[in-house]
Structure 1
Amino acid sequence: MDFKIKKASLEDLNETAELFNLYRIFYRQESDVEKGKQFLKERFLNSESDIFLVFWENKAVGFVQLYKLFHYTKLQKQFLLSDLFVHPDYRGKGLSVALIDRSKKWCEETGACGLMLETEKTNDIGNQLYPRCDFEYDGAHNYYHWWKK
């Protein structure tokens, strides 16, 4: 395979923002590269997430974004695998699995106990991918959200 994964930094902002915009469009959000760029810039500047980019023939074609959390029973740091995206033209090449594997390695490198994630029930690709990558479905918990009005 002809790919490389690197930890993104502020110098990768433009490439990351373009992919992040496509990811948001996948989740039915309006295209807004500049707003996404500002969001990502804040994450970089405040060290609020870790982003890994995957390059295919020197072109950024996918990313994963991890947010630090803490697990109350393991009493350790863990990561929320918040965003995972590979450009449609580059799917089927194992790049999503490679990004997940890099995320697992990041847990080992940083002393985190593991990864957690959520995805929509309608995300057929993700719902097939995650169990193949050794994620266990947690049917014992209900997930809720609250949005400020």
Structure 2
Amino acid sequence: MNYSIKKAQLEDLDEAAALFNLYRVFYRQEPDLVKATAFLRARFLNNESDIFLVIAEGKAVGFVQLYKLYHYTKLQKQWLLSDLFVHPDYRGKGFSVALINRSKQWCEETDACGLLLETEKTNVIGNQLYLRCGFEQDELHNYYNWWIK
């Protein structure tokens, strides 16, 4: 299947938000297209993330969202691969790998040292995909979250 990958702009908000909403549902969140759209609009307007869309059959069918971090030992910028999603109707066509490869290219284009990601232990497909794409599982660190209640 022919496809292209483009860096999303504000004019791509509706397509990106529709995919982002489905991504959140994948992680057991209630669908809320209005809030998903507002969230991504703020990221675009405040230049807080970079989103790449995979375009196939004339529409966005997948995305990756990257946030800028800084690595303490490398003393360089690093990208957090926060969100990666391909619409269920388009899975198995290599689009996730293509989005990861575009993210790696973005690291080179922005003089970053690499990518960091995390996913749920239960995300069997994702965990296999990341290893296949050259990511190394970090066995040295535990990651913790603290949330305001």
Q: Structure 2: any 5+ residue segments left out of the alignment?
A: none
In structure 2, the residue matched to 1:111 is 111
In structure 2, the residue matched to 1:136 is 136
Q: 1:54 and 2:45 equivalent?
A: no
In structure 2, the residue matched to 1:99 is 99
Q: 1:4 and 2:7 equivalent?
A: no
CA shift at 1:77, angstroms? 0.2
In structure 1, the residue matched to 2:88 is 88
> Structure 2: how far apart are the matches of 1:101 and 1:81?
12
Q: Deviations over 1:114-144 (max 9, x none)?
A: 0000000000110110000000000111000
> Structure 2: how far apart are the matches of 1:58 and 1:101?
21
- Scaled by the length of structure 2, the TM-score of the pair is 0.99
In structure 2, the residue matched to 1:31 is 31
- Scaled by the length of structure 1, the TM-score of the pair is 0.99
> Structure 2: how far apart are the matches of 1:143 and 1:122?
16
SS in 2 for 1:60: strand
SS in 2 for 1:135: coil
CA shift at 1:14, angstroms? 0.2
SS in 2 for 1:113: coil
Paired residues, what number? 149
Q: 1:121 and 2:121 equivalent?
A: yes
CA shift at 1:48, angstroms? 0.2
SS in 1 for 2:18: helix
> In angstroms, what is the RMSD of aligned CA positions?
0.5
> Structure 2: how far apart are the matches of 1:44 and 1:59?
20
CA shift at 1:3, angstroms? 0.6
SS in 1 for 2:81: strand
CA shift at 1:58, angstroms? 1.3
Q: Structure 1: any 5+ residue segments left out of the alignment?
A: none
